[in-house]
Amino acid sequence: MKTKHLLIMAGLALTAFPSVLLAQNPKWQNLFNGKDLKGWKQLNGQAKYEVINNEIVGTTVSNTPNSFLATEKNYTNFILELELKVDNSMNSGIQIRSESKQDYQNGRVHGYQVEVDPSDRKFSGGIYDEARRGWLYPLDINPLGQQAFKNEQWNKYRIECIGNSIRTWINGVPAANLVDALTPSGFIALQVHAIGKDDQPGKQIHWRNIRIQTENLKPSKADHIYVVNLVPNTLSPQEKTEGYALLWDGKTTKNWKGAYKNTFPQSGWLIKDGELSVQKSNGAESTNGGDIVTVQQYSAFDLKFDFKLTEGANSGVKYFVTLTEGNKGSAIGPEYQILDDQRHPDAKLGKNGNRTLGSLYDLITSKKIPNAQRKIGEWNSGLIRVFPDNKIEYWLNGYKILEYVRGSAEFLALVADSKYKDWKNFGMAPKGHILLQDHGDQVFFRSIKLKQL
Q: What is the pLDDT of residue 24?
A: 52
8, 192, 412, 422 from 425: Cα distances, Å: 78, 55, 9, 9
Instruction: Give the model confidence (pLDDT) of 322-347 as tens digits.
Output: 999 877 778 999 999 999 999 999 99
Let me know if residue 242 belongs to a domain: yes
Buried b (16+ CB within 10 A) or exposed e, 308-333: bbbebbbbbbbbbbebeeeeeebbbb
* 3-state secondary structure labels for all residues of 132-181: CCEEEECHHHCHHHHCCCCCCCCEEEEEEEECCEEEEEECCEEEEEEECC
**Contact present, 263 and 296 (Cβ < 8 Å):** no
Residue 282 phi/psi, 5° resolution? -115, 10
CA-to-CA distance for 148 and 122, rounded, in angstroms? 9
pLDDT above 70 covers a percentage of the chain that reads: 94
Domain limit, last residue, from 228, 252, 287: 228
Using pLDDT thresholds of 50, 70 and 90, give the confidence band for residue 25: low
As a whole number, mean pLDDT of residues 149-156 equals 97
Is 286 found in the same domain as 205?
Answer: no
As a whole number, mean pLDDT of residues 45-74 equals 97
Let me know if residue 17 belongs to a domain: no
Let me know if residue 15 belongs to a domain: no
Let me know if residue 11 belongs to a domain: no
Is 187 found in the same domain as 319?
Answer: no
Q: Per-residue pLDDT for 395 more than 90? A: yes
CA-to-CA distance for 140 and 138, rounded, in angstroms? 6
Q: What is the pLDDT of residue 41?
A: 98
Task: Pick the range with the lowest mean pLDDT from 161-165, 195-199, 316-320, 355-359.
Answer: 195-199
Q: Per-residue pLDDT for 264 more than 70? A: yes
Q: What is the pLDDT of residue 6?
A: 41
User: Domain holding 88: CATH number?
Assistant: 2.60.120.560
CA-to-CA distance for 25 and 23, rounded, in angstroms? 6
Using pLDDT thresholds of 50, 70 and 90, give the confidence band for residue 22: very low
DSSP 360: B
Instruction: Return the H-helix or E-strand segment holding 304.
Output: strand 301-309
- From the list 311, 273, 286, 234, the residue with the least C-alpha distance to 436 is 286
Let me know if residue 419 belongs to a domain: yes
Instruction: Give the model confidence (pLDDT) of 195-215 as tens digits.
Output: 988 889 999 999 999 999 999
Number of structural domains found in the chain: 2
Is 42 found in the same domain as 172?
Answer: yes
Q: What is the pLDDT of residue 13?
A: 40
What is the pTM (predicted TM-score) of this model?
0.91
Q: Per-residue pLDDT for 296 more than 50? A: yes
As a whole number, mean pLDDT of residues 365-383 equals 96
Q: Per-residue pLDDT for 18 more than 70? A: no
Domain limit, last residue, from 170, 197, 228: 228
Domain limit, last residue, from 197, 228, 259: 228
Q: What is the pLDDT of residue 9?
A: 41
As a whole number, mean pLDDT of residues 67-92 equals 97
Range of the domain at 294: 235-452
Q: What is the mean pLDDT of the chain?
A: 93
pLDDT above 90 covers a percentage of the chain that reads: 90
Q: What is the pLDDT of residue 12?
A: 40
User: Quick check: helix, strand or coil at residue 8?
Assistant: helix
Q: What is the pLDDT of residue 15?
A: 39
Q: Per-residue pLDDT for 17 more than 50? A: no
Q: What is the pLDDT of residue 282?
A: 80
As a whole number, mean pLDDT of residues 47-53 equals 98
Is 165 found in the same domain as 127?
Answer: yes
Q: Per-residue pLDDT for 7 more than 70? A: no
